[in-house]
Amino acid sequence: MALDLHRKNEFKKSKKSYDEIMKEIVTDEFPLNPLELVGELSFDNPEVLEETDKLPRSDIQEFYKDATIFITGGTGFMGKMLIEKLSRSCPHLKHIYLLIRNKKGKDVNERIDAIFEDRLFMRLKHERPKFYHKISAIAGDASLPGLGISSCDRQKLAENVNIVFHAAATIRFDEHIRTAININVLGTREIINLAKEMTNLKACMYVSTAYANCVHNKIEEKFYGAPYNYDGVISLVTSANDDKKLENITPSLTAGWPNTYTFTKALAEDLAKHESAGLPFGIFRPSVVISTYNEPVRGWIDNVYGPIGMIVGVGAGVLHTHHCDVTKVVDLVPVDLVVNALICSAYKVSKNVPTIESDPPIFNYVSSKQNPINLENFFAIIKKHGLPNWPTINAVWYYSFMPTNNPYLYSLLFLLFHTIPGYFLDFLCQLTGRKPMLSNIYKKMKKANAALSFFANNEWEFNDSNTSALWKDMSEADKNTFFFDIKEMSWDYYSRACAIGLRLYLVKDDIHTIKNARIKWEKLRKAHLLLKTVVAIVLLRICWFIINMCFN
């Protein structure tokens, strides 16, 4: 979406020293150091742990001591955060295996190397410099039979793995039903089948979503009846040869569910309920996962899904309206708190004695129950702390955002603020020999808005009793290491680093451009005021003309 505007900067890296750059950025008007704000200047000293190290450990750290862990979805947003946290806070674990598929000409080893190039791992590399030898890739694919794993690797996992985190999923709302079934439903079945072969399994966690059962207004930590028998849907989809026909029947198949993502997640939960019997199995349901709250750095994120994408678009001066009800409570949870809760829930699951009759425990990780915030307040505090402190150098216009929950007004505003300016500016780009971009961006925005409209104009009542009980039962040492108490989280504290985090980690604007970005932002502000003045004068003249015509 708006990230299409943020291609790699063509200018070279600044030749100025760090101190020179900081003198330009940290001023009386803007007294904050961006790297200090996100926490990159406060890493602990490097520590190399010996295998015989007898440092005291908390209950949860002791649980992960000498554990071998298998993670699917390790290249994704939550997966990377899970790898980082486990490696840094549970350094006595034995090994982490990541299910990774070959992609875009890169083999699994190249892809695992690429994961650790992310700035997210700076702290881990500094504090645990020998972490890398405990992580290796297993070639495979969650959408394939048997996960696409070789017999040799499957035997290795079956004999050695103690803890499984299944986070692999396709999260595209408009994903084709066949692909969504293969990854989200059949992939979960394959994980359960593999878990049944593991001789030393302590816990297997399936990462679902709090919105898997979004057809219900009240969502508790329990199983809900699936829309159809999962075996029947699997048979229907896998036996169909015509993708177009499948696409045509998808709306009737997913009736009640807003998209194939939530529909297949509901089917996967039902499958897990029936096929994980006897396993130490648990389901973890986070709501909308956003950038980090506190660790390993503040404000880290690598995607533009949900409200974060809206913030990027608005901050870049690209997004000016959106179809949403800003008075509705939006359920947002920072990814580092999500991962901490997931790590602790696996420990809790390991303490349960599974039986054939008992259902797997479910953990809803949500904010609206204990620490609610609506979209209007969320956007307001991000703007307050983000602009004009940390504008992007690639901004095309000043902040101007008019959301509405009226579909007719939204269509009019989209036409006035997006469609007409987009085609006009693209026409100017063509005249000057530059590549037109905005009209295509706005088409993507309209499609994304349609996909998000269901969630942006509704709200749900969630129950999180199991998650709350988990927090209360933890020791003080574990609470300090694996903090996830959503009630004590401060939205104001989160917002202070959100915008600079987006700038550094997502948009990837180098800090040496901040001074010029602030100068550009001030120019855009004046241009915005001038445009508003001109438009107001034109409208007054039109009104005056109409009044004169009426009286005459």
Return the domain boundaries, the chain: 60-289+333-372+461-489
Cα pseudo-dihedral 319, 287, 404, 386, rounded to 10? -50
Read out DSSP for 214-243? TTSSEE-SS----SS-HHHHHHHHHH---H
In this prediction, residue 4 carries a pLDDT of 44
Q: What residues have CB less than 8 Å from 390, skipping those under 6 apart? A: 34, 499, 500, 503, 514, 517
CB 146 within 8 Å of CB 107: no
Give the DSSP H or E segment for 71.
strand 68-72
**Which CATH architecture fits 60-289+333-372+461-489?**
3-Layer(aba) Sandwich (3.40)
CB 252 within 8 Å of CB 289: no
Rounded average pLDDT per 10-residue block, the chain, 552 residues: 40 66 90 94 81 70 95 95 96 95 82 91 92 92 94 96 96 90 96 96 97 95 88 90 86 88 95 94 97 97 90 92 94 98 97 78 97 95 91 92 94 91 86 83 85 90 96 96 97 96 92 93 95 91 88 76
In this prediction, residue 486 carries a pLDDT of 97
